[in-house]
Amino acid sequence: MSADTTDMALDVGLICQGWTPDPGGVESHTRDLAVALAAAGHHVHALCLDYGEGREPYTVTKHEVDGVSVTRMAYLYQDHRALADLVSNRRAEDVVLAWLAENPTDVVHVHHLSGFGLGALRAIREVGVPLVMTLHDYWPLCPRGQMMRPDGTLSPAPEPLACATCIAATWPHLLPSQGGEARVPGEAVVETDRDATAARTDFALASLRLPERLYTPSSAAREVYVRAGLERERIEVCENGISVEVLAAEVRERRARRAPRADGTLALGVLGTVLPSKGALELARAFLAADVPGLTLEIHGNLPSYHGDASYVDALRALAEANERVNLHGPYALADLPALLAGLDGVAAPSRWVEVFGLTVREASAAGLPVLVSDAGDLAAVAAGGAGVVVPLGEGERLDEEAWARALERFARDADARARMAAAQRRVRTAADMADQLVAGYRNAIAAESARTSGSAPQAPAAPTRRGFLRRLFGG
CATH architecture of 11-241+431-474: 3-Layer(aba) Sandwich (3.40)
Of 18-27, 294-303, 388-397, highest mean pLDDT: 294-303
Q: Residue 215, SS3?
A: strand
Is the separation of the CB atoms in 295 and 285 below 8 Å?
Answer: no
Is there a common fold for 11-241+431-474 and 245-423?
yes
Q: Which of 22-31, 80-89, 150-159, 467-476 bottoms out in mean pLDDT, i.e. has the lowest? A: 467-476
Q: In this predicted structure, what is the pLDDT of residue 1?
A: 42
Q: In this predicted structure, what is the pLDDT of residue 24?
A: 85
Residues counted in the chain = 476
DSSP-derived secondary structure letter, 258: P
Is the separation of the CB atoms in 167 and 143 below 8 Å?
Answer: yes
- The amino acid sitting at 426 is R
Domain assignments of the chain as residue spans, ordered by start? 11-241+431-474, 245-423
Rounded percentage of the chain residues whose pLDDT exceeds 90: 79
pLDDT at 217 over 70: yes
pLDDT at 472 over 70: no
Q: In this predicted structure, what is the pLDDT of residue 467?
A: 39
* Concatenated DSSP letters of 120-185: HHHHHHHTT--EEEE--SSTTT-TTSSSB-TTSPBPSS--HHHHHHHHHHH-GGGSGGGT---B-T
> In terms of pLDDT, which residue wins out, 146 or 262?
146
Q: In this predicted structure, what is the pLDDT of residue 2?
A: 44
Question: How far is it, in rounded angstroms, from Cα 46 to Cα 66?
Answer: 12
Q: In this predicted structure, what is the pLDDT of residue 74?
A: 97
> In terms of pLDDT, which residue wins out, 308 or 410?
410
pLDDT at 267 over 80: yes
Instruction: Say how many C-beta atoms besides its own lie within 10 A of residue 439's C-beta.
Output: 18
Q: In this predicted structure, what is the pLDDT of residue 462?
A: 40
Q: In this predicted structure, what is the pLDDT of residue 333?
A: 87
Is the separation of the CB atoms in 365 and 426 below 8 Å?
Answer: yes
Q: In this predicted structure, what is the pLDDT of residue 426?
A: 78
310-324: pLDDT as tens digits = 999 999 999 999 999
Rounded percentage of the chain residues whose pLDDT exceeds 70: 94
Q: In this predicted structure, what is the pLDDT of residue 254?
A: 93
* CATH 3.40.50.2000, domain 245-423, yes or no: yes
Identify the band that residue 454 occupies on the pLDDT scale cut at 50, 70 and 90.
Answer: confident
Q: In this predicted structure, what is the pLDDT of residue 243?
A: 86
